[in-house]
Amino acid sequence: MTRAVDTPPALAVEDLRTAFFTDAGRLDVVDGVSLTLRRGEILGLVGESGSGKTMTGFSITGLIEPPGRIVGGSVKLAGEELVGADRARLRALRGRRIAMVFQDPMMTLNPVLRIETQMTDALLAHASMSRAAARAKVRDALAEVGIAAPDERLRAYPHELSGGMRQRVAIAIALLHEPDVVIADEPTTALDVTIQGQILALVQRLCRERGTGLVWITHDLAVVAGIADRIAVMYAGRIVEEGPVDDVLDRPAHPYTRGLIASVPVPGRRERLPQVPGRMPSLLELPPGCAFAPRCAQAAEACRARPDLLPVGPARAARCHFPLVETEAAR
Amino acid sequence: MVGFIARRLVQSLFVLFVMTLIVFFGVNVIGNPVYIFASSECNQACVNGIIADLGLDRPVWEQYFVFVGNALSGDLGNSFTFGVPAMSLIWERLPATLELAFAALVIALGLGLPLGILAGLRPDAISSRLIMGVSTLGFSVPVFWIGLILIMVFSVQLGWLPSIGRGDTVSILGLEASFLTLDGLSHLLMPAFTLSLFMLAMVIRLTRAGMREVLHADYVKFARANGISETRILSVHVMKNILIPIVTVLGMEFGGVIAFAVVTESIFSWPGVGKMLIDAIAVLDRPLIVAYLVFVVFMFVIINLLVDILYSVLDPRVRLGGGAR
Ligand SMILES: Nc1ncnc2c1ncn2[C@@H]1O[C@H](COP(=O)(O)OP(=O)(O)O)[C@@H](O)[C@H]1O
Ligand SMILES: [Mg+2]
């Protein structure tokens, strides 16, 4: 490590907790999540649907709405604390220093406003310039995300664009102010496979060029393998494994990660894929210990106690009493 | 767009035709107006004279064809009571009704939108529950009762507002208007508010429902994620979405408000077409009744057309005339 100790990471999340207070009871949708993202780094955040990936993204950007709220922890954006920051400050940071791309491009853009209005609104939220200058700038931003005939597209309404094109617009908006951190929440899940690849490459290139830290949320391990530097695996609101992407995918430490890897389809092989057996339990009836224990083949007595996220190798950690790779201690 | 409007107008002509048929024959069954006109000294010969004079001795279908023939040349017949063209009477009274209806619309939107937004922003607050409770009253309490209560409180008890007529008017562009004089405005206030109640309740409900839906939409969250100010999000991003159903429903309702201002105009003796209709029915003034109803249908057609056009302006996903752009 030669980095200066005093430069804070682009994003440092520490024991973040978000709960929804519903009639059925309290749901800890984000349950002590810690993440670190350096400038220019790409972190893949993976997990089954419902594991809390989106809520983690919303918590980081301060977009959790009642009946949910952040109940603890810290989110530092380039050293500045966001948890508990006032609304005006959060507004000033959102879109400028930290931005988000949502999952469904069909729902992300306002159906009754022209692309130009939506883009210039996002631009003028953090910059003061003439309408003409703003128009020229958003036009260039559209061209940069690979949209042909940007002038024409600016006049269009969202329904006149394809899903892939809408997602490009959303990406152009998110990158308008060259933020330090972009959280992309399954931005390709709703798109065709060919479009997926293009979008993936586009975001990767733009973030690398600008040194933007990227959190790429997905349930698709194959995507993470192609794009990320590091990976964090989420289960029931908790990070269960974290580490450099190649290490984790080659030698998973957590049984859940191994299950996920086994269920990735291999091109050319058409046999039935082994899914992780069972389903993620409702957040209302999580077991007191390891949340994965009921689905885990090697669960034992010890798993009734809640495991901590402990180091299992260089820059790696897993939340398991019986990690599949030897720990430092066991060595 | 032009094709759409043309198609609409042809459809309306058909509606108009069917309507005149129903109204014309319907009015013919309710009674013979001659006995209301004829004085007690008028003997049978005198009555027959009047009947022949008005053309009522001819068979009904023949009367109808004469009526349609005249109507096509823009003549809806003379009022039995006033002896002047029925349409001229309607045109004379219409500005008063239009003023009342537009004042009601302004009240409904001016009060309804902010109250609905308030109720939508904080659905659980006491104030929001109060707003919704009161709006339920707007739907369920009869208009005449509210009108009478208003008169009792503000005219009889407090003596603040006059309860009868239009008050002083000034002429703008050849039309008399009350709202530009203080006296006229004080006359306008109560009837306009009474007439607006139903629309007001509807605007509040639609606004609140729209807010509840749109505020949770992904595109609003995305706008927030981009740091766009809450004011701008509410007034443009949210409002434009909410206005679509409001304009549609209000537009549909507005024709009804004009047509059936009858009750309000009667309570407050507002000299509009609604009051004229009541008077015409009382004396079975057939041409005036028929002319009024033809006029109302025509107005509905025009208003619906305008609503459709406005709707397509507000909602870009709607294109009139099937994709011709
Ligand atoms: N508004 C809400 N009220 C209650 N629970 C919610 C709400 N939104 C999300 N959740 C719960 O939060 C958990 C995590 O959801 P989410 O972050 O969307 O999962 P993912 O993005 O990983 O698919 C789920 O169990 C979901 O049911
Ligand atoms: Mg999600």
Instruction: Please indicate, yes or no, if residue B80 is contained in any of the structural domains.
Output: no
- Give Cβ neighbours of residue A22 (< 8 Å, ≥ 6 apart): A67
Q: Which of A99, A107, A117 sits opposite B225 (nearest CB)?
A: A99
- In this prediction, residue A271 carries a pLDDT of 63
Note whether B7 and B47 are same-domain residues. Answer: yes
Whether residue A329 has pLDDT greater than 60:
no
Structure tokens, B62: 């023949």
Note whether B154 and B28 are same-domain residues. Answer: no
Last residue of a domain, one of B72, B102, B131: B72
First CA to last CA distance, chain B: 8
Average pLDDT over residues B192-197: 92
Sign of CA dihedral B76, B81, B82, B83: positive
Last residue of a domain, one of B41, B72, B103: B72
Note whether B61 and B94 are same-domain residues. Answer: no
Coil, helix or strand for B280?
Answer: helix
Whether residue A95 has pLDDT greater than 90:
yes
Note whether B159 and B21 are same-domain residues. Answer: no
Instruction: Please indicate, yes or no, if residue B155 is contained in any of the structural domains.
Output: yes
Q: Check: CB of residue B150 under 8 Å from CB of residue B142.
A: no
- In this prediction, residue B54 carries a pLDDT of 74
Instruction: Please indicate, yes or no, if residue B175 is contained in any of the structural domains.
Output: yes
- Give Cβ neighbours of residue B14 (< 8 Å, ≥ 6 apart): none
Whether residue A309 has pLDDT greater than 90:
yes
Q: Check: CB of residue B121 under 8 Å from CB of residue B201.
A: no
- Give Cβ neighbours of residue A48 (< 8 Å, ≥ 6 apart): A219, A235, A260, A276, A280
Q: In what order do the strands lie in the sheet with A42-46?
A: A98-101, A181-185, A213-218, A42-46, A230-235, A238-244, A316-318, A310-313
B212 touches chain A (CB under 8 A): no
Q: What is the mean pLDDT of chain B?
A: 84
First CA to last CA distance, chain A: 24
Q: Which of B225, B240, B317 sits opposite A100 (nearest CB)?
A: B225
Query: In chain A, which residue's Cα lies nearest the Cα of B230?
Result: A91
Residue-wise pLDDT tens digits, A203-244: 898 888 889 999 999 988 988 988 899 999 999 999 999 999
In angstroms, the CA A174 to CA A102 distance is 10
Note whether B38 and B117 are same-domain residues. Answer: no
- In this prediction, residue A330 carries a pLDDT of 47
The answer to which of A40-44, A274-278, A303-307 has the lowest mean pLDDT is A274-278
B213 touches chain A (CB under 8 A): no
In angstroms, the CA B320 to CA B1 distance is 6
Instruction: Please indicate, yes or no, if residue B78 is contained in any of the structural domains.
Output: no
- In this prediction, residue B325 carries a pLDDT of 37
Boundaries of domain holding B307:
89-314
- Count of CB atoms situated within 10 Å of the CB of B112: 26
The answer to which of A215-219, B98-102, B174-178, B235-239 has the lowest mean pLDDT is B174-178
- Give Cβ neighbours of residue A317 (< 8 Å, ≥ 6 apart): A241, A242, A243, A309, A310, A311
Are A112 and B229 an interchain contact pair (Cβ–Cβ within 8 Å)?
Answer: no
Are B219 and A111 an interchain contact pair (Cβ–Cβ within 8 Å)?
Answer: yes
Instruction: Please indicate, yes or no, if residue B36 is contained in any of the structural domains.
Output: yes
Note whether B49 and B135 are same-domain residues. Answer: no
Task: Spell out which residues of chain A touch residue B225, defining contact as CB-CB under 8 Å.
Answer: 61, 63, 94-95, 99-100, 102
Give me the helices (H) in chain A, please.
Answer: 53-60, 87-93, 105-108, 115-124, 131-144, 150-155, 163-175, 193-210, 221-227, 245-250, 255-262
Q: Which comes out higher in pLDDT, residue A321 or B315?
A: A321
Average pLDDT over residues A60-74: 95
Q: What is the ipTM of this complex?
A: 0.92
In angstroms, the CA A152 to CA A173 distance is 17
Ligand 1 site residues (CB inside 6 A) read A 20, 22, 27, 29, 47, 49-55, 68, 283
- In this prediction, residue B324 carries a pLDDT of 37
The answer to which of A10-19, A53-62, B30-39, B276-285 has the lowest mean pLDDT is B30-39
Whether residue A4 has pLDDT greater than 50:
yes
Instruction: Please indicate, yes or no, if residue B257 is contained in any of the structural domains.
Output: yes
Residue B191 pLDDT class (50, 70, 90 cuts): very high
Note whether B153 and B9 are same-domain residues. Answer: no
Task: Spell out which residues of chain A touch residue B219, defining contact as CB-CB under 8 Å.
Answer: 107-111
**For the domain that residue B161 is a member of, what is the CATH number?**
1.10.3720.10
Structure tokens, A331: 């060595």
Cα dihedral B212→B214→B216→B218 (10° resolution)? 170
User: How many domains is chain B partitioned into structurally?
Assistant: 2
Task: Spell out which residues of chain B touch residue A100, defining contact as CB-CB under 8 Å.
Answer: 222, 225
Note whether B123 and B240 are same-domain residues. Answer: yes
Minimal-distance CA residue to ligand 1 atom 25: A50
Q: Between β-strands A42-46 and A213-218, what pairing exists: parallel, antiparallel or unpaired?
A: parallel
Question: Which atom number of ligand 1 is nearest to the Cα of residue A48?
Answer: 22
Residue B104 pLDDT class (50, 70, 90 cuts): very high
Average pLDDT over residues A10-20: 96
Note whether B230 and B172 are same-domain residues. Answer: yes
Residue A265 pLDDT class (50, 70, 90 cuts): confident
Minimal-distance CA residue to ligand 1 atom 11: A29
Note whether B102 and B223 are same-domain residues. Answer: yes
Note whether B126 and B207 are same-domain residues. Answer: yes
- In this prediction, residue A273 carries a pLDDT of 64
- Whether residue B33 is preceded by a cis peptide bond, meaning omega within 30 degrees of 0, is no
Residue-wise pLDDT tens digits, A128-181: 999 999 999 999 999 999 999 999 999 999 999 999 999 999 999 999 999 999
Question: Which atom number of ligand 1 is nearest to the Cα of residue A282?
Answer: 25
Instruction: Please indicate, yes or no, if residue B320 is contained in any of the structural domains.
Output: no
Residue A252 pLDDT class (50, 70, 90 cuts): very high
Cα(A286) to centroid(ligand 1), Å:
15
Note whether B96 and B65 are same-domain residues. Answer: no
